[in-house]
Every structure is written in C-alpha cells, then in structure tokens.
Amino acid sequence: MADYVNKQVIELNNINEENQNKATRSVKTETHRSDGRTRLYRLAAVCLGVLCLLQVILNISLRLAFYNRGNVTVEKDLLQTSYNTLTKERDQLQTSYNILTKERDQLQKERDDVMTKFSNLKQTCPEGWQIKLGSSWYFLSTETKTWKESRQDCLKRGADLVIINSDLEQEFLLSFNKRAWIGLTDSVTEGTWKWVDGTPLTTPSYWYSQQPDNGRDNPKYGEEDCVELNTESWLPVKAWNDQSCLLNRYWICEKVV
C-alpha cells in the first residue's frame, strides 16, 4: 500500500513538473514572440522616420532646384541682353571701321597722287622745257613752222599746243616774248574757236583790240584760222591775234603732269 502511494505521489510530482515545464516553455514562447513584435515595431518606426527624413530632403532639394533654375533663367536673360548690346556695339564699330578704312584708302590714294606729281616735278626737265606752277611743262621752240607743223612737233613730244586756262598762265606765257602759236583755231567752223582738245573757247579770252578779224585788214594770206601769242608787239595781257595757219611762227607745247 505504501509503495502504491509512493508511486502515485511520484507520478503526480512528475505530472506537476511536466505541467510546470510546459507552462515555463509557454511563457518563454510568448515572451520571445513579444520581443519579436517589439523589434518589428521598432524597425517599422525607424523605417518610417527614415522615409520622413528622405521626404524632407527631397522637398528641400526640389525647392533648391527650382530656385536655382529661376536664378539660371535670370542670369541667362541678363547674359542675352549683354550679348545683344555687345553685338550692336560691335556692328557700330564695324561700320565706323569700314568708313575709316574707306577714308584711309582715299587719303592714301591722294597722298600717292601727290607723291607721284612731286616725284615728276623733281625730275630734270628736258632741254627747252620750263615748269609752270608745278602742274604743266612748257616747251618753247627755237625755230618757226606753220601751225599744223608746230602741232605735229608737240604731239611727237607727248604734248600738244598750249591751252590757256587762266590769267596766271597767260601772264606766264608772255614772259617768253615770242610770236608763237597756241592751240586755238576755228579752221573747222569759221568763227567757232576751239582748243586742240576739242573744248570750245569760252572764258577767259585774251584777244587784242579788234581781234579776231579773219584777215580783214591784210587779206593777202587768206583766212586767219589759227591764233598766235603776239608778245612782241602787244603787251601786256591782251595779246591774241588770229593769223593765217600757213605762216611760220614759234610755238609753245604744253604737257600736263
């Protein structure tokens, strides 16, 4: 009986111990589960915080991006305005440069022309030539010929019979003190006086008194269609006389330089 009782006690103790162990394991399991849920909650909270932080950073970045974009647009507009202004100033400078270049070229050409004339004037005149005011060379012959022969001589010298254009030139030619042919004739049309270059006589003219008379007072030589500078008899300036082209006279050639 005692053994039976002891056996029952032992079994009962075993059952109680087993139940206690089960309860312990159950508590541990619940505790482990509770710890796992807590970690999950914490992880979720951390992730939510990180997401919020990222959203804040993204918002700030977007604001900065839009702000910088606005600044870039303003700077772009300022640069475009400056570029347009500089382009306009460049075009104005180019126009001024072109004008100055044209003026410079013109001045260069005028200078070259003056230097050429000056160089020509520095040359020694051929024998028998004289220079008048640095613009023309004059040749006074030492023999006499008809008006036509005289002109042929001038043409061979690269010149022509003198054309008188001013008081100063007329007075200069008077200093030669010769009865000499000049380049004036009305041989084509009577009474229409023309210079050897084809231009008509207008002004100035230096006819002696009662001239031209076409040989009215001395008709033995026929018509008087050529003009001589009669400085031997008629001074001072009024010294032109129409004369027969067949008479022999000295002559004056002119070469314009």
Q: Could you write out the DSSP letters of every residue in 243-255? A: E-TTS-BEEEEEE
Confidence of residue 6 (pLDDT cuts 50, 70, 90): low
Res 19: pLDDT: 57
Res 5: pLDDT: 46
Please name the residue that has the structure tokens 């018509």: 223
Average pLDDT over residues 2-6: 52
Written as one string, the DSSP assignment of 108-138 is HHHHHHHHHHHHHHHSPPPTTEEEETTTEEE
Q: How far apart are CA 143 and CA 178, in angstroms?
A: 11
Q: Is the pLDDT of residue 181 over 60?
A: yes
Establish how many alpha carbons lie within 13 A of residue 240's alpha carbon, considering only the half-sphere containing its beta carbon.
25
pLDDT, greater one: 236 or 46: 46
Average pLDDT over residues 196-223: 75
Q: Is the pLDDT of residue 199 over 70?
A: yes
pLDDT in tens, 39-72: 776 777 777 777 778 777 877 877 776 666 666 7
Specify the pTM: 0.50
Q: How far apart are CA 142 and CA 220, in angstroms?
A: 27
pLDDT in tens, 134-180: 678 999 999 999 999 999 999 999 999 999 988 888 888 888 888 99
CB 99 within 8 A of CB 91: no
Q: How far apart are CA 240 and CA 220, in angstroms?
A: 20
pLDDT, greater one: 231 or 93: 93
Where are the domains positioned within the chain? 1-123, 129-256
CB 227 within 8 A of CB 182: yes
CB 255 within 8 A of CB 162: no
Q: Are strands 250-256 and 179-185 parallel, antiparallel or unpaired?
A: parallel
Burial 127-160 (b: 16+ CB within 10 A, else e): eebeeeeeebbbbbbeebbbbeebbebbeeeebb
Q: Domain 129-256: what homologous superfamily?
A: Mannose-Binding Protein A, subunit A (3.10.100.10)
Res 152: pLDDT: 97
